[in-house]
Amino acid sequence: MDRQIALSAIRYNERKQGQETVLTTVIDGKQVAASVIETVKAATSALDKQSGVKTGLAVVIVGDDPASHAYVNSKGKMAKECGFKSVQHTLPAETTQEELAALVATLNSDPSIHGILVQLPLPKHLKSELIIQSILPEKDVDGLHVVNAGKLATGDLETGLVSCTPAGAMVFVRRTHGEDLSGLNAVVIGRSNLFGKPMAQLLLNANATVTIAHSRTKDLPAVCRNADILVAAVGRPEMVRSDWVKPGATVIDVGINRIPAPEKGEGKTRLVGDVAFEDAAKVAAVITPVPGGVGPMTIAMLMANTVIAAHRAAGQTPPTF
C-alpha cells in the first residue's frame, strides 16, 4: 500500500483483508489537534517577533445557554494558550439587533482583532445571517461569510477562510493521503452549508472525484461503497455500517449523536457518530472515532484560521496545516 500515513498518533485494530489480518488505523483527533495547536503557537510567536503583531481573537456570545458558554470558554482558554490576545464579549439575551451589529462593527474596525466569532445559535429574536454577513470576510474565522464560501467554491484558498469542521476533517485526509487526491473517489454524505458543501469543495480542490450524497440519494450504501474517502455528516446515529464501506477506505465521521445507554445505568447516554465504528473498522483502513476524532479539531482550526488571518493582515505568509 502506498498510502502515506503521517498522522501524529494512531491506534491499531485488526481487520481482515482477504486471507490476511491487517491493521486498521484509528485517527486520534486529540493528538492531531495538539499538533495543529503547536504550529499555531510557533506561528503566533514568530509573527509577534517579526512584525510586532499580537494575534487577536474576539468571541461574542449572546444569552446564557450553558452549552454555548462552555464552548466559548474553551475557545477563549485555547486562544490564551496559543498566545493570542483573547477577548470575550458576553451580551444579555435581550440584546437588540442594532446593539449586536454595533459591536461587530467596532470589532471589524479594531486592528488588534484579527478573528471574530459570534457564537451560534443566537437568541431567536436576532437575525444570525445578517450578523454573520456583517463580519469582515478577512476576520470571519468561522468561514461562514458568503465571500469565504465563494472563495472556497472558486478554489481560492490563498485569501479565503475555510470553516473549521471541514478544515479539520481535511487535515486528516491530507495526513492520510497527502496533498493530491488524484484518482481517488470521495463521497460526502450530507449537503449542509456548514459542512457537506465546503467539505466536498475541499476534496474537489485536492483533485478527488467527489460525490455529494444525501437523504434523497438512490441506493446510498452502493454509492458509499465506491468511496476511497467516505465522510459522514448526516446526524443519524451509526447509520454507516461495514457493508457501506469499500475495503481499505478512509472513513471520517463528523456526526455527534447522543443516544440512550441503558448498559451504563438508567437514564444514561453516550455519544456516537454517524458511523457504526466497531463494525466499519473491520473494513476501513483508516477511521475516526466519536468522540475523539473530528471534534477536537474544530477549536484547533479556529485557532489556525485566526493566526492565518493575523499573518495576512500583517502582510506575512501564513502557516499551512
Residues of the binding site = 190-192, 256
Give the CB-nearest residue to ligand GUN.
120
**Catalytically annotated residue among 28, 139, 140, 142:** 142
For ligand GUN, the binding residue among 33, 164, 232, 240 (CB under 6 A) is 164
| Strand order across the 229-232 sheet | 10-17, 20-27, 286-287, 250-253, 229-232, 185-189, 209-213
Print the binding letters for residues 274-303 with ligand GUN: x by CB under 6 A, - otherwise: ------------------------x-----
Print the binding letters for residues 203-222 with ligand GUN: x by CB under 6 A, - otherwise: --------------------
Residue ranges of the binding site for NADP(+): 190-192, 256
Is-contact 305 39, C-beta < 8 A? no
**Catalytically annotated residue among 28, 75, 151, 246:** 75
**Catalytically annotated residue among 28, 119, 140, 201:** 119
Q: How far is the CB of 77 from ligand GUN (least distance, A)?
A: 16
C-alpha span between 133 and 240 (Å, rounded): 35
Distances in Å between the Cα of 54 and the Cα atoms of 72, 86, 142, 194, 278 are 20, 10, 20, 29, 44
Q: What is the DSSP letter of 273?
A: -
**Comparison of 117 and 202: residue with beta carbon closer to ligand GUN:** 117
As to burial, measured by CB atoms within 10 angstroms (0-12 exposed, 13-18 middle, 19+ buried), residue 61 is buried
Q: How far is the CB of 194 from ligand GUN (least distance, A)?
A: 8
Short-list 308, 319, 317, CA closest to 140: 308
Print the binding letters for residues 105-144 with ligand GUN: x by CB under 6 A, - otherwise: ------------xxxx---------------------x--
C-alpha span between 290 and 179 (Å, rounded): 25
Catalytic residue flag (residue 2): no
Is-contact 186 178, C-beta < 8 A? no
* DSSP strands (E only) in the chain: 10-17, 20-27, 56-62, 85-91, 115-118, 185-189, 209-213, 229-232, 250-253, 257-260, 269-272, 286-287
User: Count of residues binding ligand GUN (CB under 6 A)?
Assistant: 8
Catalytic residue flag (residue 151): no
Print the binding letters for residues 61-90 with ligand GUN: x by CB under 6 A, - otherwise: ----------x-------------------
Is residue 256 near ligand GUN by the rule CB under 6 A?
A: no
Catalytic residue flag (residue 142): yes
Residues involved in catalysis: 75, 119, 142
Q: Which parts of this chain interact with ligand GUN (CB under 6 A)? A: 71, 117-120, 142, 164, 298
